Amino acid sequence: MELTPTHLPLLPQPTRPLSSTSCPPELSRQQLGNYQLIRLLARGGCAEVYLGQHVHLNRYAAIKVVKTALSSEKLELFRQEARIVAHLHHPHIISIFDFDVEDDTPFLVMEYACHGTLRKRHPHGTILSPAAVLSYLKPVAEALQYAHDRHLIHCDVKPENMLIGQDDEILLSDFGIAVIHDSTDWQAARDIVGTLSYIAPEQLGGEPCQASDQYSLGIVAYEWLCGQCPFRGSSGEIVAQHVKATPPSLCEQIPTLPPRIEQVVLKALAKDPEQRHLSVQAFVREFEAALTGSGLAGSNHLRLANTRHETSAGLPDIDDAATTYATASAVASLAVQRPGLPAQRGRRHPISRRTLFKSIAGLASAGLASGSLLWLLHTHLSAMPPPSSIRREMVALVYRGHHNAVRGLMWSPNEAFVASASADKTVQVWNISQSDVYVYVYTGHTDAVNAVAWSYDGLHIASGSSDRTVQVWDASDGSNAVKYQGHGDTVTSVTWSLDDQYIASASYDKTVRLWNTVDGNNISTYTGHSDAVLAVAWSPDGSLIASASADQTVQLWNPAEGMTLLTLTGHSGAVHTVAWSPNHHYIASGGSDSTVRVWDATTGSLLYTYGNHSDTVLAVTWSPDGSRIASAGADRTVQVWGALDGSHVTTFTGHKDAVNALGWSPRDGGQFIASGSSDTTVQIWYAL
């Protein structure tokens, strides 16, 4: 079901601030001007963006709020951004509705793009057909050319700043850097959300020009064509490559790509701005000419990702594939170094453009100095054999810390850790680069732990148990545990809302309860099922909840009102598991009838049934790009298959008992699948 801004659900508002770390004290009343703040949409270096609703007109908008106190000089720069962007009237540029300062808190009221970003639609590693790439390049180039004609340079062109509006139109956002690019102090505070991957060589030297935006758009086109940016490595290595390295050949990576398209893209990536296309629109016109001339217009010969232009039998028009952990800005990992958690190293990290301008050496050190754990996984992966050298059935590692059945598991948002829940009454958090030891064991439950869920910001973990409680604690060390009580029977499943403000828990007591994580209150209870609720999943866009039950149904409902919107019937036995596609348009459910059924979440229609399992299906999960589904169950297998039509890809057969839980690694295209079993192990497989 596609929800427009006028139909967005409003969850009951907590009586305290949205979050002690995400909302300035001045916002404790959760209203700025005439706009009520509803939920956090994105977080940047010194600003946050909230979904807001006009208290009189019921109109939705994005509210950009500065988190820190500003000097009078910086406040004027913020006003300057508002003034200039407000005069950019273009169908592919986000509109500014209002600007004000309330209680020393500056805020912008902007058009709300309800379908997220192109990065969310097409996560890292996604490959698009040239026709699909062109469909995005056109509106972005039109917006950039409009700005260039008014002597503005965007300076931060990347998929994260390309938003998707209500009618699926592409909207370019974040012109703040362009407006104030001469003020490096302000940049240092606000530009941490960017990465080095898209910055033109001359911009690294502090001299951006209009052709710099063309270079950045060329990097985006390159990435979409082959699935990765041309320059990778540490911060210093990326800088050096931007300055002097030739991008790897696209045609060598994609033999079916016409050489003319490669030539057009590489011209946009010329080191000298004078050697690029005459304008950003000229670049896109040349791209279109190369595409049309090759006869590939509308081609779908690259099926690793699908766009609105590509359809196939089974799942029609799977677009805007989104990561489970996406918001407009990158999901935070465990933010503070704690005892027992190893430090990160070895991979690039977003850094400020001010640091870039100072020196390449400074860039490299700044890129690796963070105390977070965001890139720890890379160290482990570098020690693994490359995927091309291993068999599909090979397991990457086995974790043996539990002494009873593993019933639930989840990857940390940074992909460095796994939390596994067990009938041994524990949740164990372990580092996948040291799978023979755990980081810590959470022992707060008094009975079997059936479910575990990591918050989207990586800071907390929730678990559900046969002791009838939901418990939430600090993800770094298991401290500061809070117990939610109210269920009358075993808790079977837990899930977080996108903004981490709410938890939904399912139970044998036939209900799903919603909890406010700010104060721990049970704010509502869903009672639509007539038998035990065995699984619950919050949609990736935060608007709906799907619950699966022993009453043989999956029900889709509005978390704000508890209203049942769709009831999916077709399973001939209890439904044990349910999962949303990353783009929230489809649902997969598995049950005692040994099948997985894939549904259209908008209409409730059954698209197809996957029937390769020989016993009850207990777990199902989607790949981050939405192209594949993994399912597992009592037949002891983990099966991977194409989401488009259910075509079988591979089967993993290493477990010795029923497989109860699955999790696809959330980053880098989903390289691994973790499975938890009644054989007491968690096994991690190469998802080739």
State how beta strands 672-677 and 682-686 pair.
antiparallel
Domain contains 654? yes
Rounded Cα gap, residues 227 and 174, in angstroms: 24
Instruction: Tell me the per-residue pLDDT of 518-555, one tens digit each, with 9 for 90 and over.
Output: 888 999 999 999 999 999 999 998 899 999 999 999 99
What residues have CB less than 8 Å from 606, skipping those under 6 apart? 568, 570, 597, 598, 599
Rounded Cα gap, residues 250 and 289, in angstroms: 18
Domain contains 236? yes
Are 99 and 126 part of one and the same domain? no
Average pLDDT, the chain: 78
Backbone angles phi, psi at 104, to 5 degrees: 65, 15
Are 161 and 106 part of one and the same domain? no
Structure tokens at 383: 């020690």
Query: SS3 for 376?
Result: helix
Rounded Cα gap, residues 674 and 338, in angstroms: 25
Q: Which of 94, 110, 126 is the last residue before a domain boundary?
A: 110
Domain contains 506? yes
8 Å CB contact between 199 and 183: no
pLDDT at residue number 358: 36
Are 563 and 433 part of one and the same domain? yes
Question: Which residue type occupies 166?
Answer: Q
Integer Rg of the chain from CA: 24
Q: Which residues constitute the domain of residue 30? A: 5-110
Instruction: Tell me the per-residue pLDDT of 200-229, one tens digit each, with 9 for 90 and over.
Output: 998 888 888 999 999 999 999 999 999 999
pLDDT at residue number 364: 35
Instruction: Tell me the per-residue pLDDT of 138-164, one tens digit each, with 9 for 90 and over.
Output: 999 999 999 888 888 888 899 999 999
Which one of 217-231, 301-315, 341-355, 378-392 scores highest in mean pLDDT? 217-231
pLDDT at residue number 115: 85
CATH number at residue 66: 3.30.200.20
Are 480 and 536 part of one and the same domain? yes
What average pLDDT does this structure show over 29-35? 79
CATH number at residue 201: 1.10.510.10
Are 499 and 602 part of one and the same domain? yes
Ramachandran bin of 562, using left for φ above 0, alpha for ψ from -120 to 50, beta for the remaining angles: left
pLDDT at residue number 176: 55
Are 439 and 575 part of one and the same domain? yes
Q: Kindly state the percentage of the chain with pLDDT values over 70.
A: 76
Are 61 and 165 part of one and the same domain? no
Domain contains 211? yes
Q: Is the pLDDT of residue 15 over 50?
A: no
Domain contains 201? yes
pTM of structure: 0.49
Lowest mean pLDDT among 60-74, 559-573, 636-650: 60-74
What average pLDDT does this structure show over 478-503? 94
Instruction: Tell me the per-residue pLDDT of 58-81, one tens digit each, with 9 for 90 and over.
Output: 788 888 887 766 677 777 766 776
Rounded Cα gap, residues 326 and 267, in angstroms: 32
Q: Which of 67, 88, 110 is the last residue before a domain boundary?
A: 110
Domain contains 237? yes
Q: How many separate domains does the chain show?
A: 3
Q: Is the pLDDT of residue 451 over 50?
A: yes
Number of alpha carbons in the 13 Å side-chain half-sphere of residue 583: 28
What average pLDDT does this structure show over 652-662? 95
8 Å CB contact between 579 and 622: yes
What average pLDDT does this structure show over 631-636? 96
Instruction: Tell me the per-residue pLDDT of 169-186, one tens digit each, with 9 for 90 and over.
Output: 999 987 754 443 333 333
Domain contains 323? no
Q: Is the pLDDT of residue 110 over 80?
A: yes
What residues have CB less than 8 Å from 292, skipping those under 6 apart? none
H helix or E strand, kind and range, residue 399: strand 395-399
Question: Which residue type occupies 415?
Answer: E
Are 499 and 565 part of one and the same domain? yes
pLDDT at residue number 473: 94
8 Å CB contact between 288 and 131: no
Which one of 315-319, 566-570, 648-652 scores highest in mean pLDDT? 566-570
Ramachandran bin of 415, using left for φ above 0, alpha for ψ from -120 to 50, beta for the remaining angles: left
Q: Which of 53, 80, 110 is the last residue before a domain boundary?
A: 110
Rounded Cα gap, residues 138 and 161, in angstroms: 15
Domain contains 366? no
Lowest mean pLDDT among 194-198, 269-273, 280-284, 592-596: 194-198
pLDDT at residue number 688: 65
User: In this predicted model, which residue has the larger pLDDT, 60 or 467?
Assistant: 467
Rounded Cα gap, residues 228 and 232, in angstroms: 9
Are 544 and 626 part of one and the same domain? yes
Are 386 and 284 part of one and the same domain? no
Rounded Cα gap, residues 440 and 93, in angstroms: 48
Catalytic residue, chosen from 100, 103, 149, 156, is: 156
Structure tokens at 316: 């029609």
Rounded Cα gap, residues 427 and 203, in angstroms: 48
Query: SS3 for 130?
Result: helix
Are 63 and 172 part of one and the same domain? no
pLDDT at residue number 181: 37
Are 435 and 569 part of one and the same domain? yes
pLDDT at residue number 3: 29
- To the query of whether residue 668 is one of the catalytic residues in this protein, the response is no
Backbone angles phi, psi at 571, to 5 degrees: -65, 145
